[in-house]
Amino acid sequence: METDQNPSSAAIPPPLLEGGRDLVTAETTARPEGSIRVLPAGVAAGIAAGETIERPASVVKELVENALDAGATTIRVDVRGGGLDLIRVNDDGRGIRAADLWLACQRHATSKYPADGLSAVRTLGFRGEALPSIAGVAELDLLSAAGSGGGWRLTMRGGRVLRDEPAPRPVGTTVTVRGLFADLPARRSAFTGAHARSETTQIGTTLRRLALAAPGVRFALHVEERLALQTSGSGDPTAALCEVYGHALQGSLLPLGPVQIAGAAISGVISGAEVTRPGRSGVTLVVNGRPVYGRSLQSGLEAAYRPLLPRGRHPVLLLAMEVDPRRVDVNVHPGKLEVRLRDEREVAAALAGLVRDALGRRPLRLRWEPITGAAALARDADSLLAESSGVWDDAAPIETPSLPSLRLIGQVGARLLLLEGDAGLYLVDQHRAHERILYERMRAALAEGDGSAEPIVLPEPLLVEVSLPQAAVLERRLVELAELGFAMEEFGGRSFLLRTAPVLPGVIAGADALGLGGLADRAHLAEAVALASDEAESAGDGETWQERLLVRLSCRTAVRRGRVLERPLMRALVEGLGHTAAPAVCPHGSPLLMHVTADALERQFGWS
């Protein structure tokens, strides 16, 4: 571990009065109670350390970052009692010379400050606060060796040296922290019982993020002497994700990039829609080897994947960026958890595009083994292939930008379209496919905003009825709805009349650019428009009421499951889907396209 140290600095001892008495102590005892006084050095150090070291996970983060900065290839972390009783970080980095051990524990002493100043910082830490801060709130034991001459041990507590002696050790550093916050009972009591277990979880989260940021380093976390996390240090980000989050990710991870944008080299991996998490903890952003949170970057990523995943679900995502240090500010947050890029908006747009392309175009993988042989006949006898009468006259493949070349086979159970491609079979949910087509066509039509598409006057006004509280909300939004093309007027009490609708391809007759007007179910138009009476401006995931209106409208007007389709309409659905930006998921984020690979079929039938 290469800790913060500066050979050109020297610890300045406290000034002394005659007879060797400490000036600070004399000042403190001589002045009357209530007057301004200089705190004893140990007390001041404890207060400052308490501000810097918020929790055991903060200690682990600082020490592991020091190990990474020292070029370690293997890092082991041991934790007991949620980190309050013991934290030990052992590494095989460059180590610290015996003459520098004491200096490494002084305030603001560092070996990491670059000659070009803060704008050229490439290390994970540089301010020299970790070791002295830890020593102010715990017993700190440093055992390090920088060469073949053996190691040295320095043990400190409360600013006092307990041990300063030679000790055997191979090259590297072991930092042991005991009795964290033992002299701060109020702080320590906050981490007892269930909170200690929670802190162990937080330590695991911290180490996982660091392991993903440094996939070429072997990490091991031992909690109460039991192995809790281990990575191979292979250097492969995909392997690191599987080792950190479980091998259920294997086969689900999609590559992102690499791309070059605004001076940043970006690459990463993301899990498919079949493997998601209820929280954002699986989303890791790495800038120049540092796991960070970037508000605009994170918001842009979430806005990109939110429409492509089920509501409330988040992917496992790792995005790594290499940027010129002069184009990134790492001092936005005291703990260096956030960064600000010079071209952040452009980079955020590129990241969002990578995520949309990966999730929006990937078919759902077959996650179960099909039933074969006689069992298949007995179980699925009621699942019939729905076909219209007549000769197949559409054998030509369906060629579209977003889907592979496909040949239509037919309709299964009046719910799915079955197609064949070079890579196997494809199943398309007809309702969700039509939802995706309608949603993207409506968004495009409403986003034009150039007045070229006049709203369509409905043959008869549609009556929209809502509750009294909803009526008040809807009344406030009449102007915004009119701007979208939905002209409504009050009809007394909690009723409204919808007189016009915007050009909605595939929904409103006369505006069908896709040839799917016969599939549209206009009976639910009023129900969908009533969604604008929702009180919330946006959902918890950032979705606005306008977006929810379009999603609901596409859902309510899309072809229903259970409807037998003629072959020309099946082809029209597939062709329309192949021209969308996200042909693998519906606007709700649910999968609509499944791929049964040729390899899976070969395994099931035992073809050689």
Q: What is the mean pLDDT of residues 17-33?
A: 39
Which of 162, 71, 166, 45 has its CA nearest to residue 123?
Answer: 71
pLDDT digits (tens, 9 = 90+) for 509-559: 444 434 344 334 455 667 667 777 765 555 445 567 778 888 887 887 788
Residue 579 has pLDDT above 80, yes or no: yes
Contacts of 369-372 with CB under 8 Å at 24 or more apart are 369/604, 370/596, 370/600, 370/604, 372/604, 372/605
pLDDT at 35: 38
pLDDT per residue as tens digits for the range 185-231: 888 888 877 677 888 989 999 999 999 999 999 999 999 999 999 99
Question: Mean pLDDT throughout 458-470?
Answer: 82
First to last CA, the chain: 55
The Cα 201–Cα 297 span in angstroms is 26
Closest CA to 416 of 396, 397, 435, 433: 433
In the predicted model, what is the mean pLDDT of the chain?
77
DSSP 604: H
Of residues 579 and 492, which shows the higher confidence score? 579
CB of 341 within 8 A of CB of 136? no
Residue 389 has pLDDT above 70, yes or no: no
- Do the bridges between strand 424-429 and strand 593-597 make them parallel or antiparallel, or are there none, so unpaired? antiparallel
pLDDT at 439 over 70: yes
Query: What is the reported pLDDT for 173?
Result: 93
Give the per-residue pLDDT at 383: 45
Characterize the bridge pairing of strands 276-277 and 314-315: antiparallel
190 CB-near residues (< 8 Å, 6+ apart) = none
Question: Which pLDDT value is given to residue 112?
Answer: 57
Percent of the chain with pLDDT over 90: 25
Question: Is residue 499 classed as helix, strand or coil in its secondary structure?
Answer: strand
User: Lowest-pLDDT range, 84-88, 96-100, 444-448, 568-572?
Assistant: 444-448
- Structural domains in the chain, sorted by start: 18-229 (3.30.565.10), 236-360 (3.30.230.10)
Encoded tokens for 289: 């080897």
Query: For residue 294, what pLDDT is reported?
Result: 72
Q: What CA–CA distance (Å, rounded) separates 447 from 254?
A: 30
Tell me the pLDDT band of 387, cut-offs 50, 70 and 90. very low
Identify the pLDDT of residue 542.
57
Q: For 52-77, what is the mean pLDDT?
A: 90
Residue 388 has pLDDT above 50, yes or no: no
| pLDDT tens-digit readout, 239-280 | 999 999 888 788 788 899 899 988 889 999 999 887 888 888
pLDDT band at 303 (very low <50, low <70, confident <90, very high): confident
Q: Which of 187, 216, 214, 220 is nearest to 58 (CA)?
A: 187
Residue 51 pLDDT > 90, yes or no?
no
Question: Each residue of 143-165: pLDDT tens digit?
Answer: 999 877 788 999 988 778 899 99
Q: Which residue has the tokens 């491609």?
A: 421
Give the pLDDT confidence score for residue 541 in this predicted structure: 54
Q: In sequence order, what are the residues at sequence separation of 6 or more whose Cβ sits closer than 8 angstroms to the Cβ of residue 357?
A: none
Average pLDDT rounded to a whole number, residues 577-606? 85
Give the mean model confidence (pLDDT) for residues 323-338. Answer: 71
pTM over 0.85: no
Cα 18 to chain center, whole Å?
61
Residues 115 and 129: their CA atoms lie apart, in Å, by 19
pLDDT of 175 higher than 70: yes
Supply the DSSP string of 52-113, one letter for each residue. H--SHHHHHHHHHHHHHHTT-SEEEEEEEGGGTSEEEEEE-S----GGGHHHHTSTT--S--
Among 310, 238, 239, 230, which residue's Cα sits nearest to residue 278?
310
